[in-house]
Every structure is written in C-alpha cells, then in structure tokens.
A = this chain, B = another copy of it.
Amino acid sequence: MSAAPRPWIEAFAPATISNLGPGFDCLGLAIQGAGDRVRVRRSSTPGVRLCRVTGDQGRLPTEPEANTASAVLIELIKRHAPGAGLEVELDKGLPLGSGLGSSGASACAALVAGDAALGLGLGHPQLVDLARDGERIACGSAHPDNVAPAIVGGVVLIPNLDPLRLISLPAPRDLWIAVYTPGCEVKTADARAVLPKQVRLDQTVRHAARLGLLVHALHVGDLALLGEAIVDELVEPARAHLIPGYLDAKVSAIEAGAIACSISGAGPTTFALAASEERATALLEILEEAFTHNGVAGKGWVDRVGAGAQITSKQLH
C-alpha cells in the first residue's frame, strides 16, 4: 500500500530588526509587516527535497544544503528525526541582504513548519539553536539576534549562547516603527569586515550601560529613555558609510523628533522609532525623501513589534 502524500504545513516567520543601538549581536525584535513563508510536508523518501523557491528572483541557491530553509531541516532531521523525509517550498517575502533578518526568517519558518510536520514539539531554545545553523550557512556567523526574535516574537535579549538563554523583554504598546529599505545592498560579510576588532574599555562600559538602560526603558515603558539608550558608538559609525544617504536620513529623522534612528542589522534597512502611527508615518516620508535624494530610493512601511514564527495553514489528515 503506497502512502498518500501528507498535507503541506505552512509557517510564517517575521522580519526582525537587530542591532538596536547597544543591542549589537545580542538583542532583536520581530516586526509584523513582512516575512517569509515556508511549506513543508513529510515524504517517504528520506532526506530533504527543496521543491520550489519563489519571490527571490532566482537569486537563492536551490541545493538543499546551501539554502537556509532546507539546510536547517537537514539538521533538524539529523538531530531529532533520523531517517525522516521532508519536501520544502520557500516563498521569500523579504528582500535579500536587506538587514531585516531575511535568511533567519526562512530558517525559522522552515523549522516551525518542519517541527509540526514531524510532530516533534521542540521548544524555543532548540529551534533557535537550529536556526543559528542557517545563519552560519547564510552569512558565516551564527549570531542569534535575528533568529531568536523570529522564533520567540517581541523583543528578545540573548545574554548567553552556551547554554542558550532567551529573555523576552516587554515591548512598549505605543511603539511604532518606520522601516525603510533603500535600493542598495549591503553584504553581511562587508558589514562585518568594517567592524572594530577591539574596543576601548571606557567605550565598552558606555556600550554596556546603554544596553542596561535599554532593558530598563523597555521594562518601565519609557520611550524617551529608550531613545537615549539607542546610541551606538561602535557599530553604526563603522557601517554608516556603506549606506548612501544614511547619515542624511538619520539627521533628518532625529530633527523631526524620532525617538531613535539606526541601521537594522547589517543594513541598509534603516528604522526610526515613534510614539504614534502618525509620527511614524511622517518619519517614513522623511527617510524616503533622504534616500531618494541620495539615489537609492527603495521601499518602506510603518510597522509594530510583532509575534514570532507560527503555523499559518494546516490541512487536516
């Protein structure tokens, strides 16, 4: 008796903003308005087959080992379901190399769908650990600041990698985010290459103190303090020149009353924070104008802190 094909299970994982000022490599947040979708179904053939990739303009690798969505499923099977088989379809909603955790979103959606398809019921730390393998494939380093919020949702601090510790921080209810992805690309490898290798001790102290302030500001819901905390002496100054028009955009956004404005992840996506939808909409126009003026018009929207990866459709057997 040959088995009927199992139903597809689809999961969505959100875009994420990392490098919130002093949160470099250890803090990120999920947003609502953009993300990737992955469909997974069990197959009687062992291993992982990447059946379809859409929305990437043909730019992503299609070998299962090289594409983050399928690569993390290979690892999932190896660790938790030896001998199992999965078919995968990836539907990219996020632009590549944008600083919005695009590779992480693919990995997280794949893992949540794969976990459900295999009936594993893995917890957040296990899923984030697996998703970091996807990051290693996509950009050569396994930082958790995109995949942790993409799995958990909200704002997540990752104070420790071994053992992995995920700390969900409260997100102020009145926080609105203008997100703008200029029409240029920053390779994560380039963005890593410009980072300082060493930091002066006094700068380390200030960096840490600002992250402390950021965590405090989230706990007390004080957006003005949050803005004071999102200052970055280490990473932003090294990367700003990789994004044409970034400093113009930032100065204009801050002058217009943004709570904070900085680079999301490795860039070029730039975010500005506001206390209302109206202000965020005004900031979005300011970002758009600055980047357009600098010849890198792109795409932007107003967003909010959102949920983590989840199953979006599941046909019953």
Residues on A lying within 8 angstroms of B by beta carbon are: 22-27, 157-160, 165, 167, 169, 195-216, 219, 225, 228-229, 234
In the bound complex, residues from chain B placing their C-beta under 8 Å from that of A216 are 157, 167, 169, 215, 219
Instruction: Chain B residues near A26: list those with CB within 8 A.
Output: 205-206, 208-209, 212
Q: How far apart are the CA atoms of A221 and B169 in the complex, in Å?
A: 14
Cα A275 to Cα B160 in complex, Å, equals 23
The contact of A212 among B159, B201, B204, by CB within 8 Å, is B159
Chain B contacts for A219, CB-based, 8 A: 215-216, 219
Known contacts: A159-B229, A165-B228, A197-B200. The answer to whether A25 contacts B205 by CB under 8 A is: yes
Protomer copies:
2
Q: Secondary structure of the A side of the interface?
A: helix
Contacts of A169 in B (CB 8 A): 216
- A159, A199, A228 pick with most chain B CB within 10 angstroms: A159
- Given A23-B212, A160-B228, A212-B215, 19 more pairs with CB closer than 8 A: A24-B208, A25-B205, A26-B209, A27-B212, A157-B213, A158-B209, A159-B206, A159-B212, A159-B213, A159-B228, A167-B212, A167-B213, A167-B216, A199-B201, A199-B204, A201-B234, A207-B207, A208-B208, A212-B214
| CB closest residue in chain B, given A207 | B208
For A199, the chain B residues whose CB sits under 8 A away are 198-201, 204
Q: A159 vs B157: C-alpha distance in the bound complex, in angstroms?
A: 18
